[in-house]
Structure 1
Amino acid sequence: MPISLTKLISAGATAVTLAAATAATAQTHDVVIFDDAFFPAVIYVDAGDELRFVNNASAARNVSAGDGSWSSGTLETGSSFSQTVEANSQVTFIGTSLGENPKSYSGEISFDPAPLSE
């Protein structure tokens, strides 16, 4: 059964409206990288949000997904890296110092509501 032009335009407008609403509600969450930890250690997000990792450590760091699906590469002190969170994103991220004796530490992405958010 052919679809009418009016229904097609209406469906397209609905799709554009939903996409715009999703984009408008996406948030950017800063995660600060320290020498031995992330702050916050657990970040509460929705799919489509962006994580911005900011290196405040005394030396270069690397941040990556626990499953290796993404990596920042080397982040010098003061630099940042952003990663969009998808619904199926890995929930653990790892920070690694560079050099002869690298140290690793982890943080967590949670899709649950943030405590005290309501």
Structure 2
Amino acid sequence: MLSKIFMRAAIAAVALSGTAGSASAEEYHILMMDYAFFPEVSYVEPGDVIIFENISGSTRTVVAEDATWTVADLADGSTASLTILEDMPNAYLSMVPGGSEDEVDADGNVQVVGRMNFSGPPVAVEN
């Protein structure tokens, strides 16, 4: 009797481990550089996690295009994580002081934009 219980538990554990792998979240690293995010576009799904890493040399804030989320005051050399939700906007931005005259706003800042794409990465086509 006891061996049947252990056998059923083992079979259930194997079955569940096979399905758990397909639902796992991915982790994406985005570098905050002087005047760019790298990569500029990240192909994500709800449940994934973005790790913002600031390598710009100054403290930065990242804000959703619609201001629904913020990663505030991220010091140079620091990281912060953000879990992707289903209804998040595709674009996020950070304001950076300086830049050329044609790029700056009235406050002297350049708007740096990054994007999340929920459609999946492009597929390479062979000829």
Which TM-score applies when normalising by structure 1? Answer: 0.74
Which residue of the partner structure matches residue 7 of structure 1? none
Are positions 1:111 and 2:92 aligned together?
A: no
- Distance (whole Å) between structure 1 residues aligned to residue 33 and residue 87 of structure 2: 27
- Distance (whole Å) between structure 2 residues aligned to residue 71 and residue 91 of structure 1: 14
Residue type matched to 1:104 in 2? Answer: Q
> Within 5 A, what are the aligned runs for 1:95-106?
95-97=94-96, 101-106=108-113
For the pair shown, the structure with the greater C-alpha radius of gyration is: 2
Unaligned 5+ segments in structure 1 are 1-16
Which residue of the partner structure matches residue 54 of structure 2? 55
Q: Over aligned residues, Cα RMSD in angstroms?
A: 2.6
SS in 1 for 2:20: helix
> Within 5 A, what are the aligned runs for 1:3-42?
21=20, 25-42=24-41
> Within 5 A, what are the aligned runs for 1:60-99?
60-97=59-96
Deviation at 1:98, TM superposition (A): 5.8
What per-residue deviation string (whole Å, max 9, x for no partner) do you get for residues 16-47 of structure 1?
x6xx8389510110000000000000000111
Determine what percentage of the aligned residue pairs are the same residue.
29
Asked if 2 retains the 8 angstrom alpha-carbon contact of 1:65 and 1:92, the reply is yes
Unaligned 5+ segments in structure 2 are 1-15, 99-106
Asked if 2 retains the 8 angstrom alpha-carbon contact of 1:61 and 1:98, the reply is no
Deviation at 1:59, TM superposition (A): 1.1
SS in 2 for 1:67: coil
Which TM-score applies when normalising by structure 2? Answer: 0.69
